[in-house]
């Protein structure tokens, strides 16, 4: 219970501190008061469970907030950084991620620096008044903090929405109107409620069958032309025989009553099930604000790391969505915001030259339209270099060089979502791998959503996501191919139509249709799904074909099917752990008659269809296995042997030298596919080595990876200036990270 309460207090402090740093028209005194009270409450809660480190930190932070509250100090950037470090470390203490011995050292350092803030500010205030200060400690030395990985100080979608906390409010202020309940328990209830949809679907099936039977009986009764002379055994408790004239009215009346009773039962059960499911979904729906609370801090930290100035604006945070969808959207939104900060927003100096405000803006807007959620993430930066995107795709062999001229801007932008495509000149821990937007598309398509991007030079960049409100049920279009039925998500079906066979045209060896004035590729669904029994040519006795026009992102295509059976609500069931991913299939549904029908993955379907016809996209195919040669440059014998062993174990041929001078000699006498070098070395460091490699015509294109302890922004920028291909900081070194970078560069 303390852990839950503490995270709520720390979350509020972090949010208010970020707002206070941002400034503006907001009541700054109110923010300071909220932080002061939250810290005081957290200190009392920590004391009750005997967590002395957190108590001590809260005491020191309280002193800082007291000084801010009384006007004895102002919040400088350095003070803000120290307070954020302290809050992050408190999160780690609360979660038990710090060893007691190591934690004690960091706690003492933090407390000393926090006391230095208040002592320094107090001394300055008194000194200005011309009064002597006893024990002045304004020059108290700063202690180098242990590097603490940034944490996201929000509960996230895995935690129930905390109560609204104003000044002086805390978890106890929630009152009797709310209760804490594990989300796992709510998930179990929601799954049971979702299962009841199957009961509703089965009841609908039975009602439909009875209605069809009644229609058949009524038609037969009207068309009966002669009296049947035989008699029919009496049913129920009666005895003897009844004539046809007696049986038919009795049977018809009983059938009519049974149909009406079935319809009444269906309406009642459907209403109860829909209400239960709606209420359960509403219980587990969270506002986007519960996810967005982390972004002001995230933007602040990223901007400082990149030497930029930026802020985030958020609209639509009150809109609620299925908690499971919110959880899946967390990573894509972080990747897109990071992309805006790293690639879009310019440095303050560059923005001044362009007559832009020095503070860049990242906008996040959420809207609910037509039963879907639309999310826009935009920046006011430099836009996207389309030529650079296309060049990177050609380099990665994702597009044929002779097909570049045929690309339009829309198709070029879609290349950004291909894994490995990046316009960054340097691989760092934040960018350069070309994975972020590929992950975004994968996550969004997993939700049966779409993602698009719009940008132009100096126009900024806008990413737009469209996802469903809920994961459990879909409206689906039921189609038949041969004897097999499939469901196409209605959200991806633009229209269905009956088309004459003579309307099919052949363009560049590909069948096409013109629908709504636009040419569309025509593909037989049976061919794409490799169904051997599918119809592959025009039936002799039919003049029309049936097609479904589907789309995802910027792609549209017409799929020919044997029959469009209609649209209905379906309950989506996953395929299970044994089949985590099946091409073209995203799940299945069970109809009331027990038939299992696959639900098609539209994004996969379009990709598969494009591969079966000529396309400007080149298939990279299998990468041939070859033994690459690596030159390792490192003056430390321990680090040099470690690097050599890692690379040789991965199958590379490795030669190791001790500094840049030996590296130049080795490069002139042998051939290497990549250089992995330290920066700080005797005689010639890594920066000078990289510059010499780039100045040599024969070696200019050789990839160079710098692995160094220098992690400042200035050092990274110097790495870019000299032409390094990747910059890996030793504090975050991981051998899989190194191997991934090398694999991308050669």
- pLDDT for position 392: 76
| Residues facing residue 241 across a β-bridge | 233
| Residue 629 backbone dihedrals phi, psi, to 5 degrees | -105, 130
Q: Of 329, 576, 278, whose CA–CA distance to 448 is shortest?
A: 329
Judge whether 2-148 and 474-611 match in fold: no
Protein fold of 2-148: 1.20.120
Per-residue pLDDT for 115 more than 80?
A: yes
How far is the CA of 453 from the CAs of 204, 447, 491, in angstroms?
A: 42, 18, 19
CB-based contacts of 545: which residues, under 8 Å, 6+ apart?
Answer: 498, 499, 500, 501, 504, 538, 560
For 544: left if phi > 0, alpha if psi spans -120 to 50, otherwise beta; the answer is beta
Per-residue pLDDT for 617 more than 70?
A: no
Residue 403 · residue 493 · CB < 8 Å: no
- pLDDT for position 429: 53
- pLDDT for position 510: 73
Q: pLDDT per residue over 618-661, tens digit each?
A: 333 333 445 689 999 988 776 787 788 888 877 888 898 988 89
Q: pLDDT per residue over 379-427, tens digit each?
A: 998 888 777 778 877 776 677 777 677 677 777 777 787 766 666 655 5
The mean-pLDDT minimum among 10-24, 74-88, 340-354, 433-447 falls in: 433-447
- pLDDT confidence band for 366 (50 / 70 / 90): very high
- pLDDT for position 21: 83
Q: pLDDT per residue over 261-298, tens digit each?
A: 777 777 777 777 777 777 777 777 788 888 888 888 88
Question: CA 105, CA 103: separation in Å to the nearest integer?
Answer: 5
| Average pLDDT over the chain, rounded to an integer | 75
The encoded tokens of residue 32 equal: 């300071």
The encoded tokens of residue 522 equal: 């025509």
Per-residue pLDDT for 375 more than 90?
A: yes
- Residue 378 burial by Cβ neighbours in a 10 Å radius (0-12, 13-18, 19+): buried
The encoded tokens of residue 627 equal: 């033994």
More confident residue, 374 or 24: 374
- pLDDT for position 176: 40
Per-residue pLDDT for 154 more than 50?
A: no
- Per DSSP, the three-state class of 401 is helix
- pLDDT for position 243: 62
Per-residue pLDDT for 571 more than 70?
A: yes
Percent pLDDT > 70 in the chain is: 75
More confident residue, 361 or 233: 361
The mean-pLDDT minimum among 65-79, 196-210, 230-244 falls in: 230-244
Per-residue pLDDT for 481 more than 70?
A: yes
- pLDDT confidence band for 147 (50 / 70 / 90): very low
Give the start-to-end residue ranges of the domains of the chain. Answer: 2-148, 190-283, 286-468, 474-611, 629-745
- pLDDT confidence band for 365 (50 / 70 / 90): very high
Strand segments (E) across 678-741: 704-708, 726-729
CATH architecture of 629-745: 3-Layer(aba) Sandwich (3.40)
- pLDDT for position 190: 72
- pLDDT for position 314: 92
| Residues facing residue 489 across a β-bridge | 476
- pLDDT for position 80: 86
How far is the CA of 546 from the CAs of 476, 480, 515, in angstroms?
A: 17, 10, 13
Percent pLDDT > 90 in the chain is: 6
- pLDDT for position 160: 38
Per-residue pLDDT for 535 more than 70?
A: no
- pLDDT confidence band for 189 (50 / 70 / 90): confident
CB-based contacts of 360: which residues, under 8 Å, 6+ apart?
Answer: 303, 308, 309, 310, 311, 341, 344, 345, 346, 351, 379, 380, 381
For 474-611, the fitting CATH number among 3.30.1550.10, 2.140.10.10, 2.40.50.180, 2.40.50.140 is 2.40.50.180
Highest mean pLDDT among 183-192, 352-361, 500-509, 626-635: 352-361
- pLDDT for position 615: 39
| Residue 475 backbone dihedrals phi, psi, to 5 degrees | -90, 130
According to DSSP, residue 340 is labeled I
CATH 3.40.630.30 fits 286-468, yes or no: no
The mean-pLDDT minimum among 189-198, 205-214, 337-346, 641-650 falls in: 189-198
- Per DSSP, the three-state class of 323 is helix
Residue 460 · residue 366 · CB < 8 Å: no
- pLDDT for position 733: 59
Alpha-carbon Rg for the chain in angstroms: 33
- pLDDT confidence band for 607 (50 / 70 / 90): confident
pTM (predicted TM-score):
0.54
CB neighbours of residue 690 within 10 Å: 25
- pLDDT for position 740: 77
């Amino acid at each position: 219970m303390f852990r839950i309460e503490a995270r709520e207090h720390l979350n509020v402090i972090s949010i208010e501190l970020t707002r206070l740093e941002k400034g503006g028209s907001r009541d700054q005194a109110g923010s300071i008061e909220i932080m002061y009270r939250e810290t005081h409450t957290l200190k009392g809660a920590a004391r009750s469970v005997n967590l002395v480190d957190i108590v001590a930190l809260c005491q020191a932070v309280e002193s800082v907030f007291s000084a801010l509250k009384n006007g004895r100090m102002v919040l400088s950037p350095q003070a803000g950084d120290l307070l954020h470090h302290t809050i992050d470390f408190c999160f780690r203490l609360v979660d038990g991620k710090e060893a007691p011995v190591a934690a004690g050292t960091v706690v003492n350092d933090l407390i000393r620096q926090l006391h230095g803030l208040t002592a320094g500010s107090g001394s300055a205030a008194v000194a200005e008044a011309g009064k002597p200060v006893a024990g002045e400690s304004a020059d108290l030395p700063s202690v180098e903090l242990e590097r603490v990985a940034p944490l996201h100080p929000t509960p996230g979608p895995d935690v129930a929405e905390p109560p609204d906390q104003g000044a002086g409010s805390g978890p106890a202020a929630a009152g009797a109107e709310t209760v804490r309940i594990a989300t796992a328990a709510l998930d179990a209830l929601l799954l049971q409620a979702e299962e009841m949809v199957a009961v509703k679907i089965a009841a609908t099936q039975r009602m439909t069958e009875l209605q069809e039977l009644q229609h058949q009986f009524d038609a037969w009764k009207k068309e009966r032309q002669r009296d049947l002379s035989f008699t029919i055994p009496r049913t129920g408790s009666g005895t003897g025989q009844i004539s046809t004239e007696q049986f038919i009215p009795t049977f018809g009346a009983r059938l009519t009553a049974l149909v009406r009773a079935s319809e009444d039962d269906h309406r009642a059960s459907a209403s109860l099930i829909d209400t239960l499911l709606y209420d359960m979904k509403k219980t587990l729906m969270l506002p986007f604000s519960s996810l967005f609370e982390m972004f002001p801090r995230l933007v602040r930290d990223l901007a400082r790391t990149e030497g930029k100035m930026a802020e985030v604006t958020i609209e639509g945070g009150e809109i609620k969505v299925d908690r499971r969808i919110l959880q899946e959207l967390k990573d894509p939104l972080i990747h897109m915001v990071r992309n805006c900060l790293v690639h879009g927003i310019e440095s303050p100096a560059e923005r001044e030259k362009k007559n832009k405000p020095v503070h860049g803006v990242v906008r996040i807007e959420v809207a609910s339209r037509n039963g879907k959620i639309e999310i826009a993430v935009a920046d006011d930066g430099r836009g996207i270099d389309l030529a650079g995107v296309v060049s990177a795709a050609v380099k990665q062999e994702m597009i044929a060089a002779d097909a570049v001229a045929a690309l339009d801007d829309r198709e070029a932008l879609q290349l950004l979502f291909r894994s490995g495509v990046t316009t960054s000149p340097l691989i760092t821990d934040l960018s350069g791998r070309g994975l972020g937007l590929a992950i975004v598309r994968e996550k969004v398509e997993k939700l049966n959503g779409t993602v698009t991007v719009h940008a132009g030079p100096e126009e900024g960049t806008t990413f737009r996501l469209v996802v469903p409100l809920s994961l459990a049920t879909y409206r689906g279009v039921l189609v038949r191919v041969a004897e097999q039925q499939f469901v196409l998500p209605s959200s991806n079906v633009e229209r269905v139509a009956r088309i004459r066979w003579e309307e099919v045209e052949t363009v560049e060896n590909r069948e096409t249709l013109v629908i709504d004035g636009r040419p569309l590729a025509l593909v037989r669904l049976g061919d794409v799904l490799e169904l051997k029994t599918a119809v592959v040519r025009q039936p002799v006795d039919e003049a029309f074909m049936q097609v479904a026009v589907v789309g995802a992102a910027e792609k549209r295509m017409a799929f020919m099917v044997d029959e469009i059976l209609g649209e209905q609500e379906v309950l989506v069931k996953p395929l299970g752990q044994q089949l985590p991913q099946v091409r073209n299939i995203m799940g299945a549904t069970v109809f009331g008659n027990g038939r299992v029908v696959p639900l098609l993955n539209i994004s996969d379907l379009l990709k598969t269809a494009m591969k079966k016809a000529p396309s400007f996209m080149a298939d990279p195919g299998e990468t041939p296995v070859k033994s690459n040669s690596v030159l390792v440059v490192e003056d430390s014998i321990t680090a040099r042997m470690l690097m050599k062993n890692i690379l040789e174990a991965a199958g590379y041929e490795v030669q190791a030298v001790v500094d840049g001078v030996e590296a130049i000699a080795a490069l002139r006498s042998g051939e290497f596919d990549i250089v992995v070098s330290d920066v700080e070395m005797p005689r010639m460091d890594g920066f000078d080595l990289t510059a010499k490699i780039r100045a040599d015509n024969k070696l200019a294109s050789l990839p160079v990876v710098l692995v160094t302890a220098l992690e400042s922004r200035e050092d990274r920028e110097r790495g870019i200036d000299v032409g390094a291909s990747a910059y890996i900081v030793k504090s975050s070194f991981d051998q899989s990270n190194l191997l991934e970078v090398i694999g991308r560069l050669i």
